[in-house]
Amino acid sequence: MTSPPATSRPDGLPDSGLTHLHSGKVRDLYATDTGHLIMVASDRISAFDHVLPTEIPDKGRILTAMSVWWFGQLGDLVGNHLLSYDDELIPDAWRGRALLCTKLDMIPVEAVVRGYLTGGGLADYQATGSVCGIALPPGLVDGDRLPEPIFTPATKAEVGAHDENVSFAAVAEQVGARLAGELRELSLAIYARARELAAGRGILLADTKFEFGLHSCTGELMLGDEVLTPDSSRFWPADSWQPGRRQPSYDKQYVRDWLTSPAAGWDRHSGSPPPPLPEDVVAATRQRYLDAYQRLTGLRFDDWLAPGS
């Protein structure tokens, strides 16, 4: 998927002083005439480096509400790019799914932290006994809790390409040793805070990824993009955790599982696009996102901002 030209309005809204900058897998980014950014979370969902042809109702609003809540929980640890989620610069049709943000100089690294072994980390471990060059104890299985959380960065790929795990040394070479160290230290601190909070709500935070940028004026390292949502994190119900199997989850793993099942009839390595999601998978995925938000925050999603309200 390529970004529309800067003069286009893919949402069909009348011009309101916004310039379209970029469309990613899920989010669309606009510049305001005040020098700020508006980040709009769509209902698109991606899996296996494809944007699926089926959307998940309310997904963008859930992601936005969740990020706003987490930014508040982490404010004493790290600053972030959020200026407002209810500003007059945000068009009414985007209410509840858009953030007014300060512009950051984004760091081209996915700051990934893993507290449990699964997904791509498990595949690396099974092949090499390590993840991103970090040696792990032998005999670990899918879903095992790691002795301590590990920082396992990845390159940030273009839309349609796959992020690649890299070593800490590679990050240090790319961005400098000092900044790489700050990224690792801050990522582990945020993960520790979030894991503790989630555990108190009966949820295991298996892994997550952060995106950081530098404030253009102060040089402060700050959180950008989204944070600790089901799109960027794996959330597992603690009461059903059982290492040695695929864990039930409050994230889009449900979609990945369907896409790789015989019911989908799709070979992810064939080069062909994935099929549309059936209605029951759409409904079940929406419910998982909703459960993650309401269980973690203790808030009702119905109380979140509605378009045009």
* Domains of the chain and any CATH numbers: 105-257 (3.30.470.20)
37: tokens are 């950014």
pLDDT digits (tens, 9 = 90+) for 163-213: 788 999 999 999 999 999 999 999 999 999 999 999 999 999 999 999 999
Alpha carbons within 13 A on the beta-carbon side of 309: 10
Question: 90 falls in which pLDDT band (50, 70, 90)?
Answer: very high
For the entire predicted model, the pTM comes to: 0.91
pLDDT at residue number 6? 32
DSSP class of 277: P
Residue type at position 139: G
Quick one: 235 exposed, middle or buried, by C-beta within 10 A (0-12, 13-18, 19+)?
buried
Q: Tell me the CA distances in angstroms from 120 to 27, 133, 164, 261, one per residue in order.
A: 23, 14, 10, 18
Quote the strand ranges of the chain, DSSP E.
Answer: 18-23, 27-32, 37-41, 46-47, 50-51, 82-84, 98-101, 104-106, 109-116, 130-131, 134-135, 145-151, 154-155, 203-215, 221-224, 233-237
- Examine the pLDDT at 2 and tell me if it is beyond 70: no
pLDDT at 115 over 90: yes
Instruction: Output the CA–CA distances (angstroms, integers) from residue 227 to 10, 16, 244, in the order listed.
Output: 25, 28, 28
Are the C-beta atoms of residues 165 and 156 closer than 8 Å to each other?
Answer: no
Under 8 Å between Cβ of 101 and 79: no
Give percent of the chain with pLDDT exceeding 90. 86
Q: With contact defined as beta carbons under 8 Å apart, do 286 and 57 qualify?
A: yes
- Is residue 166 within 8 A of residue 153, CB to CB? The reply is yes
pLDDT tens string 214-272: 998 899 999 999 999 999 999 999 999 999 999 999 988 899 999 999 999 999 999 89
Contact 205, 195 (CB under 8 A): yes
Facing residues of 236 across strands?
204
Percent of the chain's residues with pLDDT above 70: 92
